[in-house]
């Protein structure tokens, strides 16, 4: 993940099994635990505000974001719940989240979900289609830049940076 070295560290996120299903938790820097009782929730990342985001292992394949208040919101980046599999991989200090989802043709697309709930889907230049190729987002900076990689049609991986202004820089 793309992160800043001046962010507080020490919070931990993870999963536990309860009554046969996985739930998520965050152990805050003060030792207090917050639990996210969203069945099958698998937290991926946390930020300075100790918010967490990740994906849900259920039939719908939704992503989620959990806030400091305890609210947990599951969402599908593209289309109705259950039409794609999504993974939230990064969260910033404003509670915007980024990641990727697969469409019905098994192509990966990047997304940014703003705290307001607005979802922006995008494909990096050169991204392939089908067969799990496409755009994968794994980092989100405090300024709104995103980092990830594409898998092109020939099966080659290429890194990218998507600036807040929506311009792309290839990283090979």
- pTM equals 0.72
Q: How far apart are CA 75 and CA 61, in angstroms?
A: 9
- Structure token pair of residue 72: 């947990």
pLDDT at position 84, please?
64
Give the separation between CA 87 and CA 98, rounded to whole angstroms. 9
**Distance between CA atoms of residues 123 and 25, nearest Å:** 31
pLDDT digits (tens, 9 = 90+) for 113-133: 888 888 899 999 999 998 889
Check if the beta carbon of residue 159 is closer than 8 Å to that of residue 151: no
């Amino acid at each position: 993940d793309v992160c800043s070295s001046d962010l507080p560290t020490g919070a931990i996120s993870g999963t536990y099994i309860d009554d046969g299903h996985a739930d998520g938790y965050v152990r805050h820097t003060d030792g207090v635990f917050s639990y996210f009782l969203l069945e099958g929730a698998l937290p991926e990342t946390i930020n300075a505000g100790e918010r967490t985001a990740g994906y849900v292992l259920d039939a719908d394949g939704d992503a989620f974001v959990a806030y400091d208040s305890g609210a947990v919101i599951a969402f599908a980046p593209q289309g109705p719940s259950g039409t794609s599999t999504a993974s939230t991989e990064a969260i910033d200090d404003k509670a915007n989240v980024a990641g990727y989802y697969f469409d019905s043709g098994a192509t990966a697309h990047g997304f940014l979900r703003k705290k307001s709930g607005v979802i922006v889907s995008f494909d990096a230049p050169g991204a392939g289609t089908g067969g799990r190729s496409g755009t994968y987002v794994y980092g989100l900076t405090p300024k709104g830049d995103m980092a990830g990689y594409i898998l092109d049609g020939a099966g080659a991986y290429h890194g990218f940076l998507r600036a807040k202004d929506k311009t792309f820089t290839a990283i090979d």
